[in-house]
Amino acid sequence: MQVTGWPAHEAAVQRLVRSHAGIPTGSSVRLAKQTSNLFRPRAETGAPGLDVSGLTGVIEIGADGRTAQVQGMCTYEDLVAATLPHGLIPLVVPQLRTITLGGAVTGLGIESTSFRNGLPHESVLEMDVLTGSGEVVTARPDGEHADLFAAFPNSYGSLGYATRLQIELEPVPARVALRHLRFGDVDALAEALERIVTEREHEGVRVDGLDGVAFAPDELYLTLASHAAHGPGG
């Protein structure tokens, strides 16, 4: 995936700000997007939405510092496509490919690496946020808008919309080895889960990702993912 670059990003932010200014006073504010990862019906308001059409990409990859500048509507599918050529990946990658980075931060997200890397917002270094007043501000954990930075996760859009997020990345090899552990009851699985989360390994092998599924009360599985330099046989 080709990165967007800063000039295109700045132009997209200006379009967003203009679209915000065009929303009639008293009308609800929403994103003008065509897709949603909500598993429930969504009522149409008929009100114009914020123009986020140019905020769907990766602005810049800082491979040396293991960071990425990412637009709010960039999906994880596109984000990973931009970072993998550098041997890097976001610290947490949600399972649904069309989840956006901004959505995972404002609505929270979790996935198989969260047991060691936390939630998506915990790898955010700073962000630009379009506030309800139509102003775009930069929020950092130790900056002028530190309160906004701290409150933004799990705010579900009530505090504004993230136009840009700078996030941490981590190295990832070309392959991942999977192990599937079967358990006959929940207690045995919970005991193994607690041990793996604490020790970050199983049978002497590092665990980089962790997931689980239950097919029946007596048929449960933990799937362990380990970064691997080579596939089977070499």
Predicted confidence (pLDDT) per residue in 109-122, tens digit = 899 999 999 999 99
| Residue 36 reports pLDDT greater than 80 | no
Question: Is residue 191 predicted with pLDDT exceeding 60?
Answer: yes
Is the model's pLDDT at 222 over the cut of 50?
yes
Sheet harboring 175-183: ordered strands across?
Answer: 175-183, 219-228, 209-216
Among candidate residues 63, 61, 75, the one with its CA nearest the CA of residue 6? 61
pTM of the model: 0.89
